[in-house]
């Protein structure tokens, strides 16, 4: 015993195993998931399919009351083969765990939509390829931007009624508008009875600002083709870069045939108050490219319609508009940006929420 002691790792409990992709698609495993998965679990799976990759912190801010409860539930979803995960390499510190949709989760979504996994367009190798994508940081940054809005809506200020009503991914935007524009996302924010919609251009500090300004022509062409005026929000990392971008954007904006069809506002990430409990792009950080007379202040997201009185309010429908019959790749409508409400907890019952 002295010459061959038991190592500490040998004293640990049995490590649970994950189902392989073939076992995850069996009827037996799907039957087990039918009993285990909650509406929130399926909502998380749809968000991962829509937005490709979400970090553990983002999923917690979107759907869980605490990081500990989110981490425990995500571990269970990982062991059941519903989600997959990876951890990117960083030179300083430790990157958070990144989650993508796994085969069992794709099978659940396909069954809900009444189709096969092949018809859903899911391939595990392609989904996991985002781990090596050169746009991984940009994709995570865009998702963080919208996640901050959902987190703000989940923690409203006293007397405030706000909600992120719509969140379209870059992929969905490209499918609908890719012949003219390819925004990083589309969103709609509701504050009481007021709504504001926008396209997002998320600048990560790596794109040439002249190229960013050149995109205004595409947004003007889309407004002319659809007859719908949709504001464009440009998010930049620093105030200095924002000032440079505003000069180039203003020059390109003045060259448009119909400038009123492309309302533009800019903001810088460093303007967010670090002391705020839930800082988000909904705060007073926006500066319209053509502000009203005397309007030199920063505007909140819900105040931007006042800066563009000529822009009609967005049309309210019964829900998020899904792809029409002419869409090249018909899909189910995108999931709601807000997680489903937790079921009421009854005394004497153990909740899985």
The string of DSSP letters for 30-78 reads HHHHHHH--HHHHHHHHHHHHHS-EEHHHHHHHH-SSHHHHHHHHHHHH
Element (H, E) at 84: strand 83-86
Distances (CA, A) of 167 to 29, 30, 164, 277, 337: 32, 29, 7, 23, 6
Q: Examine the pLDDT at 323 and tell me if it is beyond 70.
A: no
**Between 274 and 196, where is the model more confident?**
196
Q: What is the tens place of the pLDDT at every residue in 78-106?
A: 999 999 999 999 888 899 999 999 999 99
Asked, for residue 333, whether it belongs to a domain, the answer is no
Residues 160 and 260 in one domain: yes
Check which CATH number belongs to the domain holding 26 and give it. Answer: 1.10.10.10
Residues 156 and 218 in one domain: yes
The closest alpha carbon to 78, from 140, 16, 9, 12, belongs to 16
Distances (CA, A) of 104 to 26, 67, 80, 209: 9, 24, 8, 42
Report the domain count for the chain: 2
Asked, for residue 266, whether it belongs to a domain, the answer is yes
Residues 162 and 55 in one domain: no
Q: What is the mean pLDDT of the chain?
A: 88
Residues 145 and 113 in one domain: no
Structural domain boundaries, residue 224: 136-307
pLDDT at 205: 87
Q: Are 135 and 129 in contact (CB under 8 A)?
A: no
**Between 331 and 216, where is the model more confident?**
216
**In which band, very low, low, confident or very high, does the pLDDT at 316 lie, cut at 50, 70 and 90?**
low
Distance CA(280)–CA(264), nearest Å, equals 19
Q: What is the tens place of the pLDDT at every residue in 162-188?
A: 999 999 999 999 999 999 999 999 999
**In which band, very low, low, confident or very high, does the pLDDT at 145 lie, cut at 50, 70 and 90?**
very high
Helices (H), the chain: 21-24, 27-36, 39-51, 56-63, 67-79, 103-112, 117-120, 124-128, 136-154, 170-177, 209-214, 216-226, 239-254, 304-307
Q: Are 79 and 105 in contact (CB under 8 A)?
A: no
Residues 123 and 140 in one domain: no
Q: Examine the pLDDT at 345 and tell me if it is beyond 70.
A: no
**Between 76 and 330, where is the model more confident?**
76
Please give the average per-residue pLDDT across 236-251, as a whole number.
Answer: 97
């Amino acid at each position: 015993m002295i010459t061959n002691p038991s190592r500490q790792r040998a004293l640990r409990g049995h490590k649970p195993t994950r189902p392989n992709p073939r076992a995850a698609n069996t009827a037996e495993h799907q039957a087990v998931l039918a009993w285990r998965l909650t509406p929130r679990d399926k909502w998380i799976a749809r968000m991962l399919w829509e937005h490709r990759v979400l970090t553990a912190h983002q999923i917690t801010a979107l759907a869980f009351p605490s990081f500990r409860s989110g981490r425990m539930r995500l571990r269970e979803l990982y062991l059941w083969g519903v989600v997959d995960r990876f951890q990117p390499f960083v030179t300083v510190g430790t990157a958070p765990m990144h989650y993508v949709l796994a085969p069992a989760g794709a099978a659940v979504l396909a069954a809900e939509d009444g189709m096969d996994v092949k018809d859903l367009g899911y391939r595990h190798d392609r989904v996991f390829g985002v781990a090596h994508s050169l746009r991984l940081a940009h994709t995570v940054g865009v998702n963080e931007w919208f996640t901050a809005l959902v987190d703000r809506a989940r923690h409203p200020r006293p007397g405030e009624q706000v909600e992120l009503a719509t969140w379209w991914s870059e992929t969905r935007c490209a499918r609908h508008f890719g012949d003219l524009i390819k925004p990083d996302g589309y969103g709609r924010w509701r504050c009481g009875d007021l709504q504001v919609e926008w396209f997002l251009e998320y600048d990560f500090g790596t794109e040439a600002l002249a190229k960013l300004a050149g995109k205004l022509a595409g947004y003007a062409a889309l407004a002319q083709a659809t007859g719908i005026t949709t504001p464009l929000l440009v998010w930049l990392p620093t105030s200095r870069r924002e000032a440079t971008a505003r000069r180039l954007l203003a020059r390109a904006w003045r060259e448009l045939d119909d400038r009123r069809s492309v309302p533009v506002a800019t903001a810088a990430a460093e303007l967010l108050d670090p002391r705020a409990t839930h800082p988000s792009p909904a705060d007073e950080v926006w500066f319209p490219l053509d502000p009203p007379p005397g309007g030199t202040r920063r505007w909140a997201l819900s105040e931007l319609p006042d800066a563009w009185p000529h822009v009609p309010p967005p049309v309210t429908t019964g829900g998020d508009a899904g792809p029409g019959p002419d869409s090249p790749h018909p899909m189910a409508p995108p999931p709601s940006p807000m997680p489903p409400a937790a079921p009421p907890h009854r005394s004497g019952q153990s909740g899985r929420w």
